[in-house]
Amino acid sequence: MDTKTIKISPSILSCDFSHLADEIKRTADAGADMIHIDVMDGAFVPNITFGAPVVKSFRKYTDIIFDVHLMINEPLRFIDDFAGAGADIITIHIESCNNVKETLEYIRSKGIKSGLSIKPKTDPESLRKYLPYTDMILVMSVEPGFGGQGFIPETLDNMKYVSTMLKEEGYDIPIEVDGGISEKNADIVAATGVTIFVAGSAVYKKPDIQKAIEDIRESAIKGSKN
Ligand code: DX5
Ligand code: ZN
């Protein structure tokens, strides 16, 4: 995946669930690069969202990249379902299973991109051995489970760590950030080397989502030049 261009991936967790299909179309039309789809199982995280049949139902409305974030235990069980539902990227959590390598390889075997995520308190060094199997690293900047939380500033150190590690190991793969991102902090995040920005409330709680997406993008572009 391209590691140079800033991309915005609005998280539909914060959109109007009673009009999901319209919200997805509206988001694609507003200039989003991807749609971030948060799947939660009520076990890995203390919240439940939606499963593969719901994701599949969105696919007929848009060709936009589906960036599926699995916050579920033992995700290997559901890779067939989400790949079949039209996911383009499936990200799993390093904390969610003991067969991380096998799961990442299985995602790739479906012809789609594999992402690997760490929660804020997880040692980013734990990612190193999985880099050969990963197309994107997702650094969480809140504890996963809910939208609308405050950005945890200490996670900037995780982003910097991952950025340095990727350079050391010679991997040109993008870093994504998720949680509490807005136009107010996208610049400092981009300065660490992050290029994919997930944002829920900073997009959907604004009256003009196109402007919201552009504001986050502009802030990130500014920060990436520092
Ligand atoms: C949290 C989710 C996020 C969340 C982001 O577990 O993974 O994608 O929706 O929402 P905001 O941008 O409001 O923090
Ligand atoms: Zn997410």
pLDDT tens per residue, range 141-175 = 999 999 999 999 999 999 999 999 999 999 999 99
**Alpha-helical regions (H) of 31-185:** 52-59, 79-84, 100-109, 155-169
pLDDT of residue 211: 98
CA of residue 109 to ligand 2 center, whole Å = 23
pLDDT number for residue 1: 86
Cα of 178 from ligand 2 centre, angstroms: 6
Tokens matching residue 149: 């939380």
CA of 141 to the centre of ligand 1 (A): 9
pLDDT number for residue 191: 98
% of the chain with per-residue pLDDT over 70: 100
Under a CB-based contact definition with an 8 Å cutoff, are residues 179 and 165 in contact? no
pLDDT at 198: 99
Ligand nearest to the CA of 186: 1
3-state secondary structure of 160: helix
- The predicted structure's pLDDT at residue 40: 98
Cα–Cα dist 113/173, whole Å: 11
Instruction: Identify the active-site residue in 33, 38, 67, 215.
Output: 38
**pTM of the full structure:** 0.98
Show Cβ contacts of residue 224 under 8 Å, excluding neighbours closer than 6 positions.
Answer: 6, 190, 191, 195
What average pLDDT does range 44-49 have in this prediction? 98
pLDDT at residue 217 in the model? 98
150-156 long-range contacts, CB within 8 A, separation 24+: 150/180, 151/179, 151/180, 151/181, 151/182, 151/185, 152/120, 152/179, 152/180, 154/120, 155/120, 155/179, 156/188, 156/189, 156/192
Name the band, by pLDDT with cuts 50, 70 and 90, for residue 82.
Answer: very high
Q: Which atom of ligand 1 is least distant from the CA of 149? A: 14
Per the CB < 8 A criterion, the answer to whether 107 and 133 are in contact is no
- Which of 41, 178, 187, 215 is flagged as catalytic? 178
Question: What is the overall mean pLDDT for the chain?
Answer: 97
Nearest CA owner, ligand 1 atom 9: 147
Question: Rounded mean pLDDT of 110-127?
Answer: 98
Would you say residue 55 has pLDDT above 90?
A: yes
| Cβ < 6 A, ligand 1 pocket | 11, 13-14, 36, 38, 69, 142, 144-145, 147-149, 178-181, 198-202
State the virtual CA torsion across 107, 113, 119, 125 in degrees, nearest 10. Answer: 90
Q: Residue 70's beta-bridge partner residues?
A: 39
CA distance 6 to 100: 27
Is 38 labeled as catalytic in the residue annotation? yes
Q: How far apart are CA 190 and CA 202, in angstroms?
A: 16
How many angstroms separate the CA atoms of 128 and 169, rounded?
8
- Residue 172 annotated to the active site: no
Q: State in Å: Cα 164 to ligand 2 middle.
A: 23
Over residues 71-92, the mean pLDDT reads 98
What mean pLDDT do residues 54-74 have? 96
Diameter of the chain by CA atoms? 46
Q: What confidence tens digit (pLDDT) does each residue in 170-197 have?
A: 999 999 999 999 999 999 999 999 999 9
| Predicted pLDDT at 226 | 76
CB proximity list for 97: less than 8 A, separation 6 or greater? 73, 74, 75, 76, 103
Distance, CA of 220 to CA of 104 (rounded, Å):
29
